[in-house]
Amino acid sequence: MPEQVGEFRWWWIKLRNPRDTRFFLYYPNSGAGDAQVLRVCDRGGLDHAVLIWNVCHDCQCGLIAKISMIPEWQRQGLGRRLVRWALRAGPGYDWVTSSQSPDGQQFFPVMARETGAALTNKGKTCAHIDVANRAFPRPRLVRDV
């Protein structure tokens, strides 16, 4: 079962969406500079894809702190959808990424060309972004990812 989703609520989500095989759960930030999370879960409640990002509107910068996905879900456009969702939180901002895996080293330059966001590897972020302390409020199911 997904994090912070009760058993009854998860059952209700699946019941109301019988054809969905993937569920996008958005965990908004709980404070300025705090992380936002988008989890993609299967019907069993296992999260097979996760995106964690931070945005500072004062400094107009953003950080893709983590993106991970099981190999079976890769190369289907899902990573693009997740990153584009995050970039909507700060259009035109300076975006950086945390250290990148070998897959990320191929993925982020392509996304940078497609979106116009720098997505610099290990770039400098502002002091307002707090990557150490993350508080995730109750998620909501989203469809427009």
Average pLDDT, integer, range 91-117:
89
Average pLDDT, integer, range 116-139:
76
pLDDT at 112: 93
* H or E element that contains 110: helix 102-115
Per residue in 25-44, pLDDT (tens digit) is 999 876 666 788 999 999 99
pLDDT(136) > 70: no
For the domain made up of 7-142, give the CATH fold: Aminopeptidase (3.40.630)
**99 or 61, greater pLDDT:** 61
Query: Cα 95–143–30 angle (5° rounding)?
Result: 55
- Supply φ then ψ for residue 56, to 5 degrees: -115, 110
